[in-house]
Every structure is written in structure tokens, then in C-alpha cells.
């Protein structure tokens, strides 16, 4: 008996942790790309497989983005990636472990262009609101003290006002072009969203599983951090080093390396924010730098 329990515990520790990923769309592609950059490229056994291995320690299971919160809350997967709009709508208790930054959008209230409404609170009682986010929508209007009627749709809410089935909509907006095409005007934001890594709370609390879950958070975070940084190298005159240090702060100051046979020159290396690269190069050139090289960084763990 004790032996069986031991074996069960060992299996629990050794089996790959399941990560629920969206099975289609942008969120799915971006999630798989992120795993690949973290050294966990998905290996599919067959085309359109419902599962894939992500290295030896994780296994992807592909489900609808809407189902990810429930699947992680149930423990059918220890981890999951989906938009926090869907997490909030589901009401599932799945702690957020990391904001992945992609899939940015906003859940907004919109009305036809010709409507006099300028903010959600202007909508009269009894307004019919079409949405595939009934939970977040009813909570929002309940908080405003406005009783509304919800027309639940699974998508394409933007056509509902033109079909006469709703007076307003609550839908996701990214660039805003879908609203414009349908002659709808945004009057308020309910939530801003992006893709999140979420975890099952019991699994995250289990000493046998938590280190691996945290390891995945670290790996994905290192990729996200690196994407916003560049590694910059330049040969600089040794007598301008103090000024170079001011221009190249790096993570803990630049790395200074001797350049062989050029006693008056040193090589300075540093990690630089992507948006500072242009100015930094101009400043280094002004200090007489040569051989400037900028490269991408795959992963960064300070």
C-alpha cells in the first residue's frame, strides 16, 4: 500500500505537466512561438494532434481559448495560456503567474455612431446589449446601477445593432477597425486584456510541482525580457571609458574587454533597452567608438 502511494507520488512528480493552450488563432501561434523561444518547441505526433510535447517536462493540450480557465481550475492541466478577458469572464479561480504581453485588446462598450450616448452610464434602463461576455457585461452595468437586457452571442456582436437585436454591444477591440466598419463608436472600457499564464492553485501549492511551474515562469519571462533588449558591443578609446560608462549603463555596468594589440582601445559590451539603441549608438560614435555591433538576445536572466 505504502509502496503504491510512493509510486503514485513518483509518477505525479515525473509525468510532464500539462499546459492548456488555445487550439487556433493568434493566441495559439504566439504561445507556441514563445515556448519555442524558451527552448520548449512543440513536437506534434500527428498533424492536428490535440497534444504535443513541450520538451520532456511539459505537455501541451490544445483546447478552445474560452475553455482554458475551466480546464486549469479543474486540474485537467496544471498550467494554461489564454486572454485575461476570458479568465475574468469565466470567473474561474486560476492565479495569474505571468503577463505574456501579446494578444492585447480591450473589452469595450460601443453604440451606433448616431447614438447620443457618450458613456456607458448614459445608457437607459432596459437597453439591449449584445455580447459574448455576459458575465462581465452584467457585472459592469450592475455596478453602474443600470438594469440592462443581455443578448448573448458567441461572436460577431458588432452586427447586432444593425439587425435590430441590440442597442449597444460589449466586444473586444484591438485596432478599432471592426467597430468603424460597422459604424459603431466606443463609449467606455470595461477591461484591458492580454495573454496570461495561469496556474492551478492546488498544483502551484504542491511542493512536488511548484518548482517546475516556477521554472516555466522563469523561462518564459526570460524570453519576454530579452525581446525588449539588445546586446551592444563597441570598440572605444580607453581614455573615454568614464564617458562610455555613462552612455552604456548595462545591467550592472558595461563589460570592458581588452582589445588585443590595441592598447589604447577596449571593447565595451552592454545590454541596452531596444528603444535606447539608436541614441546610444549616436552617443558612442561621438565618443569615437568603432566597430559597433548590435545583436538580439535570446534569453535574459539577470
Give the Cα separation of 279 and 42 in Å (integer): 38
Q: How far is CA 162 from CA 167, 168, 180, in A?
A: 9, 10, 13
Between 196 and 229, name the residue whose CB sits nearer to ligand AMP. Answer: 196
Between 175 and 295, name the residue whose CB sits nearer to ligand AMP. Answer: 175
Give the Cα separation of 195 and 224 in Å (integer): 13
Q: How far is the CB of 26 from ligand AMP (least distance, A)?
A: 7
> What is the grid cell recorded at 148?
440592462
Between 177 and 295, name the residue whose CB sits nearer to ligand AMP. Answer: 177
Q: How far is the CB of 173 from ligand AMP (least distance, A)?
A: 4
Give the Cα separation of 34 and 217 in Å (integer): 12
Beta bridge partners of residue 209, listed in sequence order: none
Q: How far is the CB of 110 from ligand AMP (least distance, A)?
A: 10
Q: Coil, helix or strand for 274?
A: helix
Q: How far is the CB of 83 from ligand AMP (least distance, A)?
A: 5
Q: Is 276 exposed, middle or buried (0-12, 13-18, 19+ CB in 10 A)?
A: middle
Q: How far is the CB of 115 from ligand AMP (least distance, A)?
A: 19
Three-point CA angle 281, 287, 293, nearest 5°: 35
Q: How far is the CB of 272 from ligand AMP (least distance, A)?
A: 30
Nearest CA to 59 among 98, 20, 23?
A: 20
Between 102 and 204, name the residue whose CB sits nearer to ligand AMP. Answer: 102
**Residue 301 CB partners (closer than 8 Å, separation 6+):** 218, 222, 225
Between 95 and 176, name the residue whose CB sits nearer to ligand AMP. Answer: 176
Q: How far is the CB of 283 from ligand AMP (least distance, A)?
A: 38
Between 184 and 233, name the residue whose CB sits nearer to ligand AMP. Answer: 184
Give the Cα separation of 215 and 219 in Å (integer): 6
> What is the grid cell recorded at 133?
461576455
**Residue 154 CB partners (closer than 8 Å, separation 6+):** 132
Between 174 and 282, name the residue whose CB sits nearer to ligand AMP. Answer: 174
Give me the residues that bind ligand AMP (CB under 6 A), please.
83, 103, 105, 171-178
Amino acid at each position: 500500500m505504502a509502496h503504491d502511494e510512493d509510486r503514485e507520488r513518483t509518477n505525479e512528480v515525473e509525468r510532464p505537466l500539462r499546459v492548456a493552450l488555445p487550439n487556433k488563432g493568434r493566441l495559439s501561434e504566439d504561445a507556441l512561438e514563445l515556448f519555442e523561444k524558451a527552448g520548449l518547441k512543440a513536437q506534434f505526433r500527428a498533424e492536428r494532434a490535440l497534444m504535443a510535447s513541450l520538451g520532456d517536462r511539459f505537455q501541451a493540450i490544445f483546447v478552445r481559448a474560452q475553455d482554458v480557465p475551466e480546464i486549469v481550475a479543474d486540474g485537467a492541466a496544471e498550467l494554461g495560456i489564454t486572454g485575461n478577458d476570458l479568465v475574468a469572464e469565466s470567473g474561474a479561480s486560476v492565479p495569474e503567474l505571468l503577463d505574456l504581453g501579446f494578444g492585447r485588446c480591450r473589452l469595450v462598450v460601443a453604440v451606433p455612431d448616431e447614438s447620443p450616448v457618450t458613456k456607458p452610464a448614459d445608457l437607459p434602463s432596459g437597453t439591449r446589449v449584445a455580447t459574448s461576455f455576459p458575465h462581465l457585461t452584467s457585472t459592469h452595468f450592475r455596478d453602474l446601477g443600470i438594469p440592462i437586457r443581455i443578448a448573448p452571442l458567441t461572436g460577431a456582436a458588432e452586427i447586432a445593432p444593425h439587425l435590430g437585436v441590440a442597442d449597444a454591444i460589449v466586444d473586444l477591440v484591438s485596432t478599432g477597425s471592426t467597430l468603424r466598419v460597422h459604424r459603431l463608436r466606443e463609449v467606455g472600457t470595461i477591461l484591458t486584456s492580454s495573454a496570461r499564464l495561469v496556474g492551478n492553485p492546488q498544483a502551484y501549492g504542491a511542493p512536488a510541482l511548484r518548482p517546475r511551474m516556477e521554472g516555466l515562469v522563469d523561462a518564459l519571462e526570460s524570453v519576454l525580457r530579452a525581446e525588449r533588449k539588445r546586446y551592444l558591443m563597441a570598440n572605444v578609446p580607453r581614455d573615454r571609458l568614464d564617458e562610455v560608462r555613462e552612455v552604456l549603463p548595462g545591467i550592472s555596468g558595461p563589460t570592458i574587454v581588452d582589445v588585443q594589440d590595441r592598447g589604447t582601445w577596449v571593447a565595451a559590451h552592454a545590454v541596452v533597452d531596444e528603444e535606447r539603441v539608436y541614441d546610444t549608438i549616436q552617443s558612442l560614435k561621438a565618443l569615437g567608438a568603432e566597430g559597433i555591433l548590435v545583436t538580439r538576445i535570446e534569453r535574459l536572466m539577470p
